[in-house]
């Protein structure tokens, strides 16, 4: 059984990958609108983990619609969720088991139980969120057992998350000021820089 995991190279999706690798053949999927090559950051981490890696190209229209949502809302949550939901739907059209690294304490991009069931029923697939039963605190303990992590402010580094292409798009269309107005300055992301312990 193969599972396709939405993957940014951050700690949550890396832990997701090793959790599922006990039960599934793992494939890591990074989405891109091809406006940046930030997906390569995820590819580097996938190589370190030793799992197959694929890029999923998304229609730029999804990026534009997400950006317009964010401009209208004045905050990024719904726009990011919009991209996440579209990525899941596209993946669901291609494969039977899909997964991501959403945690119990996450607020974005979290689908409601009814949205999850709709996705599963519409495409007749399995959507797995292995970290949904773990707090942030518990996840950090497990992450630190297996990985060397670099945490960074999302204004100081470009990672492979959706957010970076979104920000780039909004910056080009509405200017840097808009980005600073909309996206929180203190939001941290993570990227795995090394594997401490090999997983069987």
- Between CA 39 and CA 34 the distance in angstroms is 9
Q: Pick out residues in 93-132 that bind a second copy (CB under 8 A).
A: 97, 102, 104, 113, 116-117, 120, 126-132
Q: Which residues pair with 125 in a beta bridge?
A: none
Given 135, 144, 176, 188, the residue binding a second copy (CB under 8 A): 135
Is residue 60 within the footprint of a second copy (CB under 8 A)?
no
Q: Does the protein bind a second copy through residue 136 (CB under 8 A)?
A: no
10 counts as binding a second copy under rule CB under 8 A: no
**Which residues touch 150 (CB under 8 Å, ≥6 apart)?**
190, 191, 192, 193
What would the x/- binding string for a second copy be over residues 144 to 163, using CB under 8 A? -x------------------
Alpha carbon of residue 147 to chain centroid: 18
Is residue 198 at the binding interface for a second copy, with CB under 8 A as the rule? no
1 counts as binding a second copy under rule CB under 8 A: yes
Q: How many residues in the shown chain lie near a second copy by CB under 8 A?
A: 28
Burial annotation 54-66 (CB, 10 A radius, 16+ → b, else e): ebbebeeebbeeb
Is residue 74 close enough to count as binding a second copy by CB under 8 A?
no
Residues 17-46 that bind a second copy (CB under 8 A): 19, 22-23
Burial class (CB in 10 A: 0-12, 13-18, 19+), 107: exposed
Cβ-proximal residues to 46 (8 Å cutoff; 6+ apart), any chain: 7, 9, 28, 30, 52, 53
* Residues that bind a second copy in the complex, under the rule CB under 8 A: 1, 19, 22-23, 97, 102, 104, 113, 116-117, 120, 126-135, 137-138, 141-142, 145, 199-200
């Amino acid at each position: 059984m193969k599972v396709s995991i939405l993957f940014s190279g951050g700690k949550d999706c890396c832990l997701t990958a090793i959790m599922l690798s006990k039960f599934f053949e793992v494939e890591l999927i990074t989405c891109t609108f091809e406006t940046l090559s930030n997906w390569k950051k995820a590819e580097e981490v996938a190589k370190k983990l030793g799992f197959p890696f694929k890029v999923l190209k998304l229609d730029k229209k999804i990026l534009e619609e997400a950006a317009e949502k964010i401009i209208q809302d004045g905050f990024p949550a719904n726009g990011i969720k919009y991209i996440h939901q579209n990525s899941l739907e596209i993946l669901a059209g291609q494969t039977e088991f899909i997964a991501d690294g959403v945690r119990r304490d996450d607020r974005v991009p979290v689908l409601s139980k009814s949205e999850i069931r709709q996705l599963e029923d519409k495409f007749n697939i399995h959507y797995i969120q292995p970290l949904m039963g773990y707090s942030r605190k518990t996840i950090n303990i497990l992450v630190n057992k297996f990985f060397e992590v670099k945490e960074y402010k999302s204004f100081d580094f470009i990672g492979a998350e959706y957010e970076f292409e979104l920000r780039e798009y909004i910056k080009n269309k509405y200017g840097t000021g808009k980005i600073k107005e909309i996206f929180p300055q203190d939001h941290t992301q993570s990227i795995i820089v090394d594997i401490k312990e090999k997983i069987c």
